Amino acid sequence: MSGDSSSTPAIEVADLRKQYRRVEALAGLSMTVRRGEVFGFLGPNGAGKTTTVKLLLGLARPTAGGGTVLGAPLGDLRARRRIGYLPELFRYQPWLRAREVLALHGELIGLPRARRRAAAAEILELVGLGDRSDDLVGRFSKGMQQRLGLGVALVGDPDLVILDEPTSALDPIGRVDVRGIIRHARDRGAGVFLNSHLLSEVEQVCDRVAIVDHGRVIASGRLDDVLGHSETQARVTGLSAADLGAFEPFGHPTLEGDRLVIRPMADDRVPDLVSLLVSMGVRVHEVRSGRSSLEQRFVELVSRDSPPAGTPSSHPEGGR
């Protein structure tokens, strides 16, 4: 395996398993992350998100299963040269200056000495720390340290950027900045693996998502696929079940109490539907069209998912 081909997926894992004594943190996780896409990895606390990240980076070893990162086996030393990583527990040498932290990571990935200073300055500017490059990291706030961590993950323009809860310490402005940085990395062709439980953030920036629970993927695909199709609900009076056939050209109609629900149904057909209802003498009180939010869908999927044998029945805080 060369590990250099840009045609290989950024991440490809199959039946990845990780057992911590009696707890099965990963129970056969499979997924593929392409280059040039932002991939959201979602799950409740204790679902196995951080364990997955650690296996991808070689910080922990799988109990069974395996996969590749940038075409090389999990934890491969050479592949790690092209991976940027922001840990969930971001902490950098407090006695170093911000630019020195970036230069250190530049040195570790083999960035030529002549490039390190300019690269550090450029990245610090990008993450909003341009005027703090000479400050000691120990004097940084948590938010600034997270910005620095994001900068560390971008050193050397990596082909894969793994971000574990990248906005946990940031204010709303910082979160907007991070979204811009993530899109920028994607636009230059990098794969971005975004491990997060901030669903609104994922919804805004990710091309594809996987929802993980009890150590396995319970739903994955494009955001549209995971969220499902749009539906239209109309609160009406004067409509009976015998009339439902008239709405079949719009989609599959059902009558749920005083609600006419048609799914799937595209938003742009709402005016036609209202015209038809009015022409049938039906009184229309309210019409709502759209699809469930990621949050609704997430809650629905996770609450439907039952733990496989050998996994804890609850979601312990903190995640593994």
Residues that bind other proteins (CB under 8 A): 54, 57-61, 77-78, 80-81, 83, 85, 87, 89-93, 95-96, 104-105, 107-110, 149, 152
C-alpha distances out from residue 310 to 21, 23, 25, 30, 217, Å: 11, 7, 10, 19, 16
Residue closer to other proteins (CB basis): 83 or 205: 83
The SS3 assignment for 284 reads strand
* The residue to which tokens 């341009």 are assigned: 130
**Minimum distance from CB of 277 to other proteins (Å)?**
58
Question: CA-based Rg of the chain, rounded to a whole angstrom?
Answer: 24
Residue closer to other proteins (CB basis): 77 or 114: 77
**Minimum distance from CB of 204 to other proteins (Å)?**
26
Phi-psi group of 292: left, alpha or beta (phi > 0 → left; psi -120 to 50 → alpha; rest → beta): beta
Residue closer to other proteins (CB basis): 96 or 244: 96
CA atoms of 264 and 262, how far apart (whole Å): 6
**Minimum distance from CB of 94 to other proteins (Å)?**
9
The token pair that represents 117 in the structure block: 């200073």
Residue closer to other proteins (CB basis): 60 or 260: 60
Residue closer to other proteins (CB basis): 155 or 260: 155
**Minimum distance from CB of 108 to other proteins (Å)?**
4
Burial, 120: exposed, middle or buried (Cβ in 10 Å; 0-12, 13-18, 19+)?
A: buried
**Minimum distance from CB of 161 to other proteins (Å)?**
12
Beta strands in the chain (DSSP E): 11-20, 23-33, 38-42, 64-69, 72-73, 83-86, 160-164, 191-196, 208-213, 216-222, 231-237, 252-256, 259-263, 283-290
The token pair that represents 136 in the structure block: 């000691």
Nearest to 126 by CA among 147, 145, 144, 157: 147
Residue closer to other proteins (CB basis): 72 or 277: 72
Pair 231, 273: CB distance under 8 Å: no
What phi, psi does 20 have (nearest 5°)? -105, 100
CA atoms of 84 and 61, how far apart (whole Å): 19
**Minimum distance from CB of 131 to other proteins (Å)?**
22
CA atoms of 93 and 89, how far apart (whole Å): 13
**Minimum distance from CB of 165 to other proteins (Å)?**
13
**Minimum distance from CB of 185 to other proteins (Å)?**
17
